[in-house]
Amino acid sequence: MRRKLFEVLTVSVLITALLAGCSEKNIEETEADAAASVASSAEEKEMTPADMRVGVFIYKLSDTYMSLFKDELIKDLVKAGFKEENITVVNSAVSQGYQMLQLRKLIASGVDILVVNPVNTSKTAEVTDLAMEAEVPLVYVNREPDAAEEIRWESESMPVTYIGCDARQAGTFQGKIIMDLGFENIDKNGDGVLQYIMVKGEKNNADTYFRTRYSIDALKKAGWNVEKLAEGNGNWDKNVAEYVVTEALEENPSPEVIICNNDMMAIGALEAVSKSGLVAGDDVYIIGADAFEVALEKILEGKIVGTVFNNYVEQARLTTGTILSYMKKQNVAHFYGSDYVKVTKENAETILGIIREGDETEEEY
């Protein structure tokens, strides 16, 4: 579906200018969408950012990635002229039912645009229906709805889009970072097979599924023999991951690689590894995804071997640009992706710089 979508997409000069800072590939739109000019609640009168009421629903606000994204989004919206008091942020507390309830409440009290980081990506049809009945454009972020949903937005010309990354790329990049270490260096026991532990995010999540699958596929495609010693769901959380890895190490004391679907879990894995007496970056290689500051520091210390940069700064800008496009009733595509970047000791400082200073750059809206 993603591939098909990209194939029919053509570059929009308009949105390119609006969403400066992302690659051309990521800011494409379908010509078919021209017909789908948005029937928003803002239709009758000319809206300005200062009038717009924005609802932002986050699956769990204590999630490191989502909290960084949310802060960045609010900063960007305010820069673009939105009023902070018109932005309602709702912590969905990992409950789909609660998210639906709060969505109904906010729609009833009046909202012009919804940004939803869904709790359960396979239940997004209900969220979409709710927003479409109320004629409120909808921007999904970070947790990608099912392919069937995206096909429906397109075929029914719905003012609905998804902004995030393609998790397949993250997995492939993780595999490549591992390969770059060289098989002879990783195969500590010299048996010709790479023994690994997989620490996964939440169940029923696209990032979990694709990062897990594509990291291993990349190794297999390169002809590496791999053996999974253990796997578990660390739910994107440092403490849960530490527990998962501690348990795994009891049965399998000598993994060669620990692949984690995100950085907080890589930090948890690192704790477990250190407590077990193994030396991370020497006896065993840990890899994450996201490029959080805390993980980048561990990469520079040589304790984590790499990560992939999940650029929340860019994704927040894309979201703000898309909200503005909906407001101005311009054409909006059904998918905007930002690219991941492979991060190792070589470029960790540069990425740290982007994170620390990137949000200070002046963006024109």
Binding interface with ligand BGC (CB under 6 A): 63, 65-66, 142-143, 207, 236, 262, 289-290, 310
Count of C-beta atoms within a 10 Å radius of residue 112: 20
Task: State in angstroms the smallest separation of the CB of 299 from ligand BGC.
Answer: 16
Give the closest residue to 316 by CA, choosing from 363, 351, 270, 348.
Answer: 363
Task: State in angstroms the smallest separation of the CB of 312 from ligand BGC.
Answer: 9
Task: State in angstroms the smallest separation of the CB of 328 from ligand BGC.
Answer: 29
Task: State in angstroms the smallest separation of the CB of 338 from ligand BGC.
Answer: 11
Let me know: does 270 contact 296? Beta carbons within 8 Å.
no
Judged by beta carbon, residue 59 or residue 153, the one nearer ligand BGC is 59
Task: State in angstroms the smallest separation of the CB of 55 from ligand BGC.
Answer: 18
- What residues have CB less than 8 Å from 102, skipping those under 6 apart? 57, 90, 92
Judged by beta carbon, residue 47 or residue 68, the one nearer ligand BGC is 68
Task: State in angstroms the smallest separation of the CB of 325 from ligand BGC.
Answer: 23
Structure tokens at 203: 């169940």
Task: State in angstroms the smallest separation of the CB of 87 from ligand BGC.
Answer: 20
Judged by beta carbon, residue 154 or residue 207, the one nearer ligand BGC is 207
Judged by beta carbon, residue 49 or residue 164, the one nearer ligand BGC is 164
Judged by beta carbon, residue 159 or residue 175, the one nearer ligand BGC is 175
Judged by beta carbon, residue 142 or residue 320, the one nearer ligand BGC is 142
Judged by beta carbon, residue 262 or residue 322, the one nearer ligand BGC is 262
Judged by beta carbon, residue 173 or residue 236, the one nearer ligand BGC is 236
Amino acid letter for position 271: E
Judged by beta carbon, residue 66 or residue 77, the one nearer ligand BGC is 66
Task: State in angstroms the smallest separation of the CB of 293 from ligand BGC.
Answer: 13
b/e burial code for range 297-325 (CB count within 10 A of at least 16 → b): ebbeeebbbbbbbbbbbbbbbbbbbbbbb
Distances in Å between the alpha carbon of 74 and those of 32, 36, 54, 225, 260?
Answer: 31, 27, 10, 46, 29
Angle 23-28-33 from CA coordinates, rounded to 5°: 165
Return phi, psi of residue 309, to 5°. Answer: -75, 115
Q: What is the DSSP string of 239-265?
A: HHHHHHHHHHHHH-S--SEEEESSHHH
Alpha carbon distance 10, 12 (integer Å): 6
b/e burial code for range 9-46 (CB count within 10 A of at least 16 → b): beebeebbebbebbeeebbbbbeebeebbbebbbeeee
Return phi, psi of residue 101, to 5°. Answer: -60, -45
Distances in Å between the alpha carbon of 263 and those of 82, 87, 229, 259, 315?
Answer: 32, 29, 20, 10, 18
Place of tokens 């999974």: 228
Judged by beta carbon, residue 33 or residue 290, the one nearer ligand BGC is 290
Count of C-beta atoms within a 10 Å radius of residue 229: 18
Task: State in angstroms the smallest separation of the CB of 203 from ligand BGC.
Answer: 12
Count of C-beta atoms within a 10 Å radius of residue 62: 11
Task: State in angstroms the smallest separation of the CB of 24 from ligand BGC.
Answer: 23
